[in-house]
């Protein structure tokens, strides 16, 4: 009996002691895991089944043992990925998709193996869907994510490198270039990399997918061929630096839906629900010093700023835009700052601020263009067309710069707000502009806009204008800005510009119709 009593006491003591041992305590993670990558790119092999396997390393950097309540694929059973976590296949019936209470010792790490299970043959029949994305989620409350991206069609990925610091932390590669024009390269916080020489021609053979900023280095030219498709991830874009150029030369397409010869810039979320969502990527940035930039038969959609154009106001070749459409920009369609822009057959619509903003002075010549703004996602501060001759620095100092010229001929300037034209000059700099044969939405019954620049009888600034007459666009909410034969914009134009065709390539009549499109019979 006594022996049994001593055994029982000893057993209880050992049990209590072991339960108090810190090495066997696992606390739920609080979201402080570290990963070898924040995005795993899985390039799929073209065969019946995608079978590439990639590795992700997960680190517990804390001094405590942790238990990860859940490791799972965001798309669950519907995911086309399969996971193996340190040799474990996961919870049934979610094997390979979900794992519960995964333990990780202090200062330890584990491997997650990621495999694609995509049936390539079933996906490539859809010409628009070349990326498959998912995410691995860690935790239950403070959820951490690692994005997964699989190339399911033979596209070209362009993305910056992930660099490792001496302390083991990682950073994304950033751009270094001559920002201020003093001849020396400056470090920036813009994540991206310069295109290699063998990447300076984008063809129509494969789509291009850009993560971060793809930059054109000094004295280089990026050529984009007709029919090319360029897709941007969130916070991504193109940047053209000093003495560099971009030539995006599309041609007329035979199929208005397929747009087989159009160059298209858009986001990388190609699900139908993202087709018209603004702000999915950043911008095409023509930096101060870039020159000889050309966009022809190009569509730019769903960006933050479609084209951001800086500097070189005396360079007549800074930017030439022809036969180009810019839609669904969360801020500006075209934002010019002390620059020079020549545009013909340009269509802009649905911008969170202005569709066309000629700011901080410069030179602008716009012919046969439709500058519309039917934005409905939020309140917008500015009209479809904004002109000013100043900038405001970070200290709220006003910096003047002359608007040397801003000529708009045979244009439609319209939208769902009033007015859709704002002249915003300061007296310390020149402000020269001219509107000829334009249809403009500007209704000012309360005389809120006054001064010499709003004297619409002054032939120095205005000639043969048509105010507040609905152009009768086909469907502006769907970015269909064609006009009918009955439109008040029909046959109101004069001879101007060098192009004799509208944006579709159809010959212009005489007298020509205002805007980028010839008037047509919608019933046909």
pLDDT category at 20 given cuts 50, 70, 90 is very low
pLDDT tens digits for range 408-437:
999 999 999 999 999 999 998 999 999 999
Q: How many domains does the chain have?
A: 2
Domain boundary residue, one of 152, 173, 203? 152
**Domain shared by 168 and 97, yes or no:** no
**Domain shared by 327 and 414, yes or no:** yes
Domain boundary residue, one of 99, 118, 152? 152
Question: Is 220 part of a structural domain of the chain?
Answer: yes
Question: Is 340 part of a structural domain of the chain?
Answer: yes
Q: Which domain holds residue 271?
A: 157-432
**Domain shared by 346 and 422, yes or no:** yes
Question: Is 479 part of a structural domain of the chain?
Answer: no
Domain boundary residue, one of 124, 152, 180? 152
**Domain shared by 354 and 277, yes or no:** yes
Q: How far is CA 71 from the centre of its chain?
A: 31
pLDDT tens digits for range 86-99:
999 887 888 899 99
Question: Is 8 part of a structural domain of the chain?
Answer: no
Whether 332 contacts 355, CB under 8 Å: yes
Give yes or no for residue 119 having a pLDDT over 90.
no
- Region 485-490: mean pLDDT is 97
pLDDT tens digits for range 40-64:
887 543 333 345 678 999 999 988 9
**Domain shared by 96 and 180, yes or no:** no
**Domain shared by 259 and 197, yes or no:** yes
Beta partners for 358? 336, 387
Nearest to 285 by CA among 433, 175, 408, 403: 175
State which H helix or E strand residue 333 sits in.
strand 332-351
Mean pLDDT of the chain: 89
Question: Is 88 part of a structural domain of the chain?
Answer: yes
pLDDT of the residue at 153 = 63
**Domain shared by 357 and 334, yes or no:** yes
**Domain shared by 391 and 291, yes or no:** yes
**Domain shared by 427 and 320, yes or no:** yes
pLDDT category at 200 given cuts 50, 70, 90 is very high
Q: How far is CA 129 from the centre of its chain?
A: 18
CB count within 10 Å of CB 503 equals: 25
**Domain shared by 305 and 263, yes or no:** yes
**Domain shared by 250 and 346, yes or no:** yes
Sign of the four-CA dihedral 190, 196, 202, 208: negative
**Domain shared by 48 and 188, yes or no:** no
Question: Is 463 part of a structural domain of the chain?
Answer: no
Give the span between the Cα atoms of 298 and 201, in whole angstroms.
Answer: 16
CATH at 62: 2.60.40.10
Question: Is 324 part of a structural domain of the chain?
Answer: yes
pLDDT category at 142 given cuts 50, 70, 90 is confident
Q: 87 φ, ψ to 5°?
A: 90, -5
- Region 344-371: mean pLDDT is 98
Question: Is 466 part of a structural domain of the chain?
Answer: no
Tokens of 296: 């022809």
Give the span between the Cα atoms of 493 and 503, in whole angstroms.
Answer: 15
């Amino acid at each position: 009996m006594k022996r049994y009593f001593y055994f029982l006491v000893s057993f209880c003591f050992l049990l209590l002691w072991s339960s108090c041992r810190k090495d066997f305590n696992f606390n739920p993670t609080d979201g402080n895991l570290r990963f070898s990558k924040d995005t795993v790119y899985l390039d799929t092999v073209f065969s019946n089944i995608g079978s590439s396997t990639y590795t992700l390393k997960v680190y517990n950097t804390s001094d405590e043992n942790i238990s990860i309540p859940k490791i799972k694929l965001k798309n669950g059973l519907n995911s086309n990925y399969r996971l193996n976590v340190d040799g474990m296949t996961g919870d049934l019936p979610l094997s390979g998709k979900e794992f519960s209470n995964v333990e990780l010792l202090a200062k330890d790490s584990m491997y997650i193996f990621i495999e694609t299970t995509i049936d390539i043959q079933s996906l490539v029949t859809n010409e628009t869907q070349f990326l498959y994305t998912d995410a691995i989620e860690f935790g239950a409350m403070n959820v951490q994510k690692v994005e997964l991206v699989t190339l399911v069609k033979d596209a070209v990925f362009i993305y910056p490198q992930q660099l490792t610091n001496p302390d083991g932390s990682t950073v994304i590669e950033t751009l270094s270039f001559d920002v201020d024009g003093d001849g020396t390269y400056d470090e920036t916080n813009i994540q991206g990399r310069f295109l290699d020489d063998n990447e300076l021609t984008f063809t129509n053979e494969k789509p291009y997918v850009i993560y971060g900023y793809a930059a054109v280095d000094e004295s280089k030219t990026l050529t984009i061929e007709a029919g090319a498709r360029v897709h941007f991830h969130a916070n991504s874009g193109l940047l053209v630096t000093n003495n560099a150029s971009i030539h995006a030369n599309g041609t007329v397409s035979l199929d208005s839906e397929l747009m087989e010869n159009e160059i298209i810039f858009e986001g990388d979320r190609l699900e139908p629900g993202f087709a018209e969502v603004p702000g999915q990527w950043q911008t095409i940035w023509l930096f101060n010093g870039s020159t000889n930039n050309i966009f022809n038969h190009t569509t730019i959609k769903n960006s933050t700023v479609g084209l951001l154009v800086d500097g070189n106001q005396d360079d007549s070749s800074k930017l030439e835009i022809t036969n180009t459409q810019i839609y669904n920009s969360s801020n500006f369609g075209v934002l010019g700052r002390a620059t020079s822009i020549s545009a013909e057959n340009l269509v802009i619509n649905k911008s969170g601020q202005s569709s066309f903003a000629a700011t901080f002075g410069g030179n602008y010549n716009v012919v046969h263009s439709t500058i519309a703004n039917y934005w409905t996602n939020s309140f917008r501060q500015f009209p479809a067309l904004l002109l000013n001759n100043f900038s405001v620095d970070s200290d709220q100092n006003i910096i003047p710069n002359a608007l040397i010229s801003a000529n708009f001929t045979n244009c439609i300037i319209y939208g769902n707000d009033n007015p859709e034209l704002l002249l915003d000059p300061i007296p310390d700099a020149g402000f020269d502009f001219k509107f000829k044969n334009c249809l403009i939405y500007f209704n000012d019954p309360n005389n809120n806009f006054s001064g010499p620049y709003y004297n619409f009888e002054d032939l120095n600034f205005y000639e043969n204008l048509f105010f507040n007459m609905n152009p009768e666009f086909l469907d502006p909410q769907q970015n269909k800005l064609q006009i009918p034969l009955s439109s008040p914009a029909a046959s109101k134009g004069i001879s101007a510009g060098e192009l004799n065709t509208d944006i579709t390539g159809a010959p212009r009549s005489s007298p020509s119709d205002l805007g980028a499109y010839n008037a047509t019979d919608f019933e046909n």
